Structure 1
Amino acid sequence: MPLPTSRRLALLTSASLALLAGCGSSSDSAAAQSTPARVAVVASTDVYGDIVRRVGGDRVDVTSVISDPGQDPHSYEADPQNQLALSKAEVVVENGGGYDDFVDRMLKGGHNDSAQVIDAVKVSGKTAPKGGELNEHVWYDFPTVAKVVDRIAAALTKADPSDAGAFTKNAAAFQAKLAPLEAKEARIKKEHGGAGVAITEPVPLYMTEASGLINRTPAEFSEAIEEGDDVSPRILQENLALFSGRKVQALVCNEQTSGPQTVKTEAAAKAAGIPVVPVTETLPKGKDYLGWMTANVDALAGALAK
């Protein structure tokens, strides 16, 4: 008995759809195979996340754990979303030196034991001075950043050998743009070398030291501010005297941390007519690493020229 017309049409339609679906699956599969997956990278902060993007281009998928200026890497506790990203990462970039220990805690917790881990402090080769503490803010040290860029390119190449040429080219282009920053520091050193500056935290010290400037802030003051501890009245007065006695030509302050002692310090600088140069630990909104550091060095030069 012949099938009704509607039934025959339904069967034909189903067969046609199945055929099209089969063709689509084959095409999609081929397209997926022709487009390699991006290298998954987790960076502890958006500073390193931006640098990875400059080296990796469109061949990387970067997650920056800390990208909010209000987050403190020293005390940050990663959430499940961060842990998931880290578990899938092929490359991990951290600052190290005790700055972003949450990354090491997650790695040691078994979230990923196969990722290539780049520790910027270890790459820098810097160690604590005798009787002192390590300044872990190595992203303010341009020679260290150049070394980290090389490590990033090597790690991405290992994860994705087919794009090695692009990674190497991008790394070289980034490093070439670091050279003008070092030249600006050298110019400051030539024009203002030996000048005294004050800081609220050790964040900018690699930049000020490369510029030939002398940090006159009592170590007890900047260390206490960095650790969130109280400053003794004696040390606070010693610090404030830097401005009333005009022993420094600029105050370079971390504007991401504020408290009564830093407020008094900034007020003392302004009252004495000493320029204040604000810096940050993470990328300001709308800035990339190179633009951010260019603005920092230019602001320092401008303050010293006043």
Structure 2
Amino acid sequence: MQNTVKKMITVAMISTTMLIVSGCTVRLSEESFIANDKEPVAFSTEFTQALQQAMPDHVITQLSLEASDHVKLNGFFIDNPNSNTTLVFYPGNGMKIQPHCLADLTALSALNTDILIMDRRGIGASEGKPRIHNIILDAQQQLDYVQQQYQPEKIILHGYSLGSFIAADLARNNKIDALVLHGSATNADDWVDEKTPWYMAPFMTLEMPEDFRKTDNKQVVAQYYQGPLLVIAAEDDEEVPPALSEKLFAASKSANKQFIMVPNIGHQGMLEEATTMQQYQAFITEL
């Protein structure tokens, strides 16, 4: 997972792109940036059994939802019988439920909430070709499904890395009870600035689709979302430098906001750190 994300972000977005374009203009395209599998791969029985073994008190249901353009999206609803709070988890770029999400889902299950997780279109068990705008439409449809089908008392949106842009965009227009931005950047421009060597910055211009610029986490927390906010960053994160998460936290106008800096860890494994999850649990308990 780590090598995949590094390749997608660092190599495709900076090194490779700069080599194939003329001059010093970086053109960031959805095709080159958003990970996409050739064909969907169904969840295995062994993986579903591993999920159940990791959280034996939960009822695990495999979901298949049809998007507005008839693309089939697959994932799981993990039901905690003692909870009426649903946490919707949006994974990072190239992150498939199987095999990448078992550790994170196991950690999140300790929060005593229900969990919805779907492979986004074009990755893992889900069909389709991903674009920013249809990924967000899919996520809105899934959120509507949770509200109608399960009618939770509280909804928490948790976005990791690229998934944080989906969670924040939904928080802009939906009534939710908490937003968790985990390993998150402020926006695409800041992200590229942080990843660009200082000696190249004066000679570079950045071109990107408008949909990339519209998904701006900093703008959301500064102007649109003022509910409970938890920001989780990693001290040694080289893929999404923690300075970007600090900027997000500083920009937030929320009266209830918390920041967790996970020490001695990179982009992967933040939720496997015990103190982080204790603080996460305390945040949820106060909602």
TM-score (norm 1): 0.31
State the structure with more CA Rg: 1
Q: Structure 1 or 2: larger helix share?
A: 1
In proportion to residue count, which structure has more strand? 2
Greater length-normalized contact order (CA 8 Å, ≥ 6 residues apart): 2
